[in-house]
Structure 1
Amino acid sequence: MREFSLPALYEVPADGNLTDLIRRNAAQHPDVAVVARKRGGEWADVGAAEFLAEVQAAAKGLIASGVQQGDRVALMSRTRYEWTLLDFAIWSAGAVTVPVYETSSPEQIAWILSDSGAVAALVETDEHLRAVESVRDRLPALRDVWRIDPPRNSRGRDAGSDAPTDTGTGSGAVEQLTAAGGDIDDATVEVRSSAANADSPATIVYTSGTTGRPKGCVLTHRSFFAECGNVVERLRPMFRTGESSVLLFLPIAHVFGRLVQVAAVMAPIKLGHVSDVKALTDELAAFRPTMILGVPRVFEKVFNSARAQAQAGGKGKIFDKAAETATAYSRALDEPSGPPLGLRLRHKLFDVLVYSKLRTVLGGLATHAISGGAPLGERLGHFYRGIGFTVLEGYGLTESCAATAFNPYDRQKIGTVGQPLPGSVVRIADDGEVLLHGEHLFTGYWNNEQATQEALADGWFHTGDLGTLDSDGYLAITGRKKEILVTAGGKNIAPSVIEDGIRAHALVAECMVVGDGRPFAGALLTLDEEFLPRWAQEHGKMTLSHEQLLRDEELLAELQQAVDTGNALVSRAESVRKFRVLDTQFTEESGHITPSLKLKRGVVAKDFADDIDALYA
């Protein structure tokens, strides 16, 4: 099949914007918990009316500070209640949110804030503030910077720094904005909140590009309405107002996290935030969500941790047998005859011994999860469905406002990324590339008309991914035309940025960053044949054999410095964690380099598959 579409289930408003959602919730469900936040270590519900009041109070502060209609405001923070609050406050002030990953380097911050022309920034911590201040001279449009966390002293200055910070004393950004907006009346906020229409930009999300410069994807209010409205309606049994809840631990700077946020408000269902993934297990038990949104790495970790715990307790064989049974049971569900009697009995036994405990780890109430950002794989898909916790895999990009395809709860096909978002079209081009069309798509790249024309040729978005459609319209992703790596955690990595930094070291001849579908980025290095003997002589290593030299601790330490240089150009999440030195060269003759000296990544990955696997052993 070359093309498939489904009719829209949600009609995008002809006018209006995302702030209409919080006003509607306050009017129709004033006391229903739409958000929950931690107070005194305990989860406390925030009703729709209370949330609206807090959003509008912060919006008044932004307006009082001089933020105008259409201005860009950067937001750099971990996932927390204030992220959602301030996102809607920015929209309520008539402005455009520019998310920045909280792990971003000063170079990345400088580019994003400069390119977007951000007039203000909301950052979470002292470290974030220092990073912004370190590049302040390159940001002529930036006027105000507020810190979400309260300052560490009462003088309005960052301890140990001369950089002016928060204007208040002992209070964070939300409190300062609320105080600053005291003279702004409700009518002014109403005018600002209503000024943007469906086709106005809601956010500019910067995504990694092969050139190394992140591109700003302009997503409109229409994009989110079409995306989230159709997701909620297609998965309506999972979005029951007053009953359903979701615990968000993905970065909201990532478009997938943003989808979760807006969809929860649109439904509405209760939304909770977790900043520290290390605390996720405890928070799942305390919050007890009915639905979980995650990336494959999270579900892989739950499985591996449970297996390791079972092995430590002498029950490894039982766990492995239970996992085998769960997978077999799930596969049998797809057969006309269903699971045979013997399998059903084993499954029932293991449900008592193993599966119920795993569901408890996931909060105890959730029966479904949605996974995106990277391929989940059939193994995990069948295992989780087999234990009574169905993970619905989806597929999308920043340019498609997150999910452009997903498995419906009632018609799942494990091994695929599901059917197209209702109201959109998926087409497979002659070369196998996945093309998209629909209201949920971005309108273009900010300040980059050439890239926009290339990506949106003939009215279709060219994803750069390869795929197939089956007779029922289920999409399977088979490869990637572009070079962007996507880790198991869903982080996009532009390898050329880090590679260029590492190759700057005289010892390094070639570098190829790997990590597609893996838990982190790694690198394969080859050494410069001319410089290596010179280095060995300078460091008194001439007596070492070539093989011994490649394992020499002093040499490896210097190569680590080269890797550190490359890592300094990117965020921690994109950084190379491990590298492996190859006893060979990438050349045109070996088939690893093109005549224009570009790496043939596919050939290298195939020829050195064992070395790549060793990085993750």
Structure 2
Amino acid sequence: MKTLADLYQSSKNKYGNQPAFLTKNSSGEFDSVGYSELYELGLQLGTALIELEFPYKGHAAVLADNRLEWIITDYAIVMAGGADVPRGTDVTDSDLNHILPHSGATIVFAENDSVLKKLYQNQSALQNVHTIILIDKNAKGTGKELRFWDLIERGKELREKGNREIENRISQIQEEDLFTLIYTAGTTGRPKGVPLTHKNIMSQINRIPIKLEAGERILSILPVWHSFERMFEMVCIHFGAGTYYSSVRTLKEDLKKVKPTFMASAPRLWESVYQGIYATVAKSSSVKQSLFHAALFFSSNIQSAKRWLGFRELDLTGRNAIVSSFVGIFKVLQYILNILPATLLDLIVLKKIRQATGGKLKGTVSGGGALPIHVDKFFNAIGIQVLEGYGLTETSPVISVRILDEAVMGTVGPLYKGTSLRVVDPNTSKILWTTEEGGPKGYSVKGEIHVKGDQVMSGYYHDEENTRKVMNGGWFNTGDLGMMSYNDCLKIVGRTKETIVLLGGENVEPVPIENILSQSEFILQCMVIGQDQKYLSALIVPNPEFFPDYKPGVGFTSAEEEAKCAVKIQAVIKNAISATNGFKSFERVVDFRLLPKPFETGDELTAKLSVKRHVVTDKYSGLIRDIYSGKKEEVLR
């Protein structure tokens, strides 16, 4: 298969009436659409779009969240030979005014009245748009828009009369044609258009190392316009799995109802679940707390032994054969001594925790950000495999991913088949490690990650300046820092753009510091700051579960309770960011401030839940000035 149109037709032929996508009805139950019906709906809508003079290689914006109409629209645009320009309903005015004109979209799909209102309030953004299509059946509209399901009926009518224009379009589609133009949400500024071709996405689907079975139940909660979720849905179509559209708000009940076997997720989800489990345990009886910690202890020992004996323990030094033999003997004994209590406590304790996910979850792929190691270890210990992957929108998106039963924790897995990679010194451009034959193999040496392969974009859309910054001879500079382990797995250690340079010239990676602080039950979110300053500080969102007086959006209503919280968090920082934990003196967090509200998607967080550092820095510039004004002593010294 060379194009998505090939994939859609193949899946229709293979899986017929098997459930493809399932969405909730007004009663909260899931209704399904089979692969054959989905394909026909796509043909019908695509036929109507062609009648509306949607051209071959045309662009249509889709401003909507996860719903059945989204995937029908995707089918229609792709099979009509075009590319979609996707964004969620939380699209901002500035996004509209940049993305719509820049992309050249001539048709816009708007989910509801709220999105429609934004469009009409930004008339300058509609300079190229000749048609707006309103998706939601219950939306009022203004009378000027076309209705989604009316177009489906129109397409059906045309096809019943023998119209086969869309089949002609399908036959013209080439693998180098665009199927989507995604504008990166970005943590550092204005969105850039990433044009992805059929060849880009099909290289991911045809080489996927994780195998699903037809009929598997997949829960979808990430924004469908995000490249990670988008690719994963295409993979589900390839294997004939059923994708259930859920949301963070209904996730808990949907896990029990759907009993998913697999899902794609972001690290923040598992951090939230992790914190929720520990908050529940903290409120339980001392006997239940003891059983929980005992179950976790024995299971962790069993998993540790399995990893070592299966050569899946992270290796950054190169195993010494003699030392490995002695460690191996110890791990065998560890396994023998722990297997019985681990098995019993798994039945008594951990099985009940897994039931919260429906009890059938074989694993989940986590992408869109770094998975904290303590969260990683926890879920693998309780029997839920979290397979961390790595990639960017510009790489369609996967560069590497862990594989079921072969995962090396602390890494993002082996490279995706067909991917070339270099680890490059960001200061000298010297290649430290490479997949290229005869090239250097500097294992465990940190450098900037450059990649090349069929999944890599050709360059940013109509943006030569930014393209030159990241592309060189087909190699894409990810801007991420990483190293190759002796397990031949990629480990991400930071990002060059996130690197904080202190006044003394020291380079600090904030993410490892933020990850270890986030392990505390008292801290919900945090961001380390200190660019061009003498020392590091942190902006911290307290966890309301442990500070009932903290009201998101307001902060603490009692100065006394705020002071108690500050004392606890100060102790956390002192203990966590210390030489004992491997931090250098200049990596110590010297001061901090408590924020009045959590970071939110569409504001301080991108759709994939990465912190927009520039937004947080601007929003809390006053607090940051206060930290470094000299008015306050370095409280943690």
TM-score range, shorter chain: 0.7 to 0.9
Superposition deviation, residue 443 in structure 1: 1.7
Q: In the alignment, which residue of structure 1 is the partner of 2:483?
A: 468
Matches within 5 A, 1:17-166: 17-39=3-25, 40-153=27-140, 157=142, 164-166=143-145
Segment drifting more, 41-50 vs 454-463: 41-50
Q: Rate the CA distance shift 1:222–1:569 in 2: closer, same or farther, 3 A.
A: closer
Segment drifting more, 69-78 vs 59-68: 59-68
Instruction: State whether structure 2 residue 392 is matched by structure 1 residue 397.
Output: yes
- 1:405-434: CA deviations, max 9, x gaps? 011113210000111111111211133110
Matches within 5 A, 1:425-464: 425-431=420-426, 432-464=447-479
Instruction: State whether structure 2 residue 216 is matched by structure 1 residue 230.
Output: no
- The answer (yes or no) to whether the contact 2:134–2:146 under 8 Å persists in 1 is no
- 1:309-367: CA deviations, max 9, x gaps? 23323233433333333333322222334543332222212212221122111121112
Identity %: 26
- The answer (yes or no) to whether the contact 1:104–1:571 under 8 Å persists in 2 is no
Q: In the alignment, which residue of structure 2 is the partner of 1:167?
A: 146
- Partner-residue secondary structure (3-state), 2:276: helix
Superposition deviation, residue 294 in structure 1: 0.6
> Which amino acid is 1:112 matched to?
I
- Partner-residue secondary structure (3-state), 1:344: helix
Matches within 5 A, 1:263-412: 263-274=235-246, 276-314=247-285, 315-336=288-309, 337-338=331-332, 339-412=334-407
1:524 & 1:328 partners in 2: Cα distance? Answer: 37
- Partner-residue secondary structure (3-state), 1:189: helix
- Partner-residue secondary structure (3-state), 1:62: helix
- 1:273-306: CA deviations, max 9, x gaps? 11x3110111111112211211111112222212
Q: Rate the CA distance shift 1:210–1:246 in 2: closer, same or farther, 3 A.
A: closer
2:481 & 2:528 partners in 1: Cα distance? Answer: 25
> Which amino acid is 2:213 matched to?
R
> Which amino acid is 2:108 matched to?
A
- Partner-residue secondary structure (3-state), 1:260: helix
1:182 & 1:460 partners in 2: Cα distance? Answer: 48
> Which amino acid is 1:178 matched to?
E
Superposition deviation, residue 453 in structure 1: 2.6
- The answer (yes or no) to whether the contact 1:521–1:576 under 8 Å persists in 2 is no
2:136 & 2:530 partners in 1: Cα distance? Answer: 41
Segment drifting more, 356-365 vs 335-344: 335-344
- 1:116-149: CA deviations, max 9, x gaps? 0111111212111111111122321011112221
2:66 & 2:186 partners in 1: Cα distance? Answer: 24
Q: Rate the CA distance shift 1:333–1:570 in 2: closer, same or farther, 3 A.
A: closer
Q: In the alignment, which residue of structure 1 is the partner of 2:417?
A: 422
Which of 146, 168, 183 does residue 206 from structure 1 map onto? 183
- Partner-residue secondary structure (3-state), 1:54: helix
- The answer (yes or no) to whether the contact 1:146–1:165 under 8 Å persists in 2 is no
Q: Rate the CA distance shift 1:127–1:326 in 2: closer, same or farther, 3 A.
A: farther
| TM score, norm. by length of structure 2 | 0.72
- Partner-residue secondary structure (3-state), 2:206: helix
- The answer (yes or no) to whether the contact 1:104–1:572 under 8 Å persists in 2 is no
Q: Rate the CA distance shift 1:380–1:523 in 2: closer, same or farther, 3 A.
A: closer
- The answer (yes or no) to whether the contact 1:110–1:132 under 8 Å persists in 2 is no
- The answer (yes or no) to whether the contact 2:226–2:607 under 8 Å persists in 1 is no
1:240 & 1:475 partners in 2: Cα distance? Answer: 27
Q: Rate the CA distance shift 1:204–1:572 in 2: closer, same or farther, 3 A.
A: closer
1:53 & 1:433 partners in 2: Cα distance? Answer: 46
Q: Rate the CA distance shift 1:186–1:333 in 2: closer, same or farther, 3 A.
A: farther
> Which amino acid is 2:10 matched to?
R
| TM score, norm. by length of structure 1 | 0.74
2:75 & 2:104 partners in 1: Cα distance? Answer: 20
Q: Rate the CA distance shift 1:521–1:343 in 2: closer, same or farther, 3 A.
A: closer
Point out where structure 1 has 5 or more consecutive residues left out of the alignment: 1-12, 158-163, 486-511, 527-550, 552-558, 591-606, 612-617
Q: Rate the CA distance shift 1:273–1:210 in 2: closer, same or farther, 3 A.
A: closer
- The answer (yes or no) to whether the contact 1:208–1:484 under 8 Å persists in 2 is no
Q: Rate the CA distance shift 1:151–1:65 in 2: closer, same or farther, 3 A.
A: farther
> Which amino acid is 1:100 matched to?
R
> Which amino acid is 2:13 matched to?
A
2:485 & 2:43 partners in 1: Cα distance? Answer: 47
1:571 & 1:260 partners in 2: Cα distance? Answer: 16
- The answer (yes or no) to whether the contact 1:60–1:93 under 8 Å persists in 2 is yes
Q: Rate the CA distance shift 1:201–1:572 in 2: closer, same or farther, 3 A.
A: closer
- Partner-residue secondary structure (3-state), 2:49: helix
- Partner-residue secondary structure (3-state), 1:581: helix
- The answer (yes or no) to whether the contact 1:92–1:192 under 8 Å persists in 2 is yes
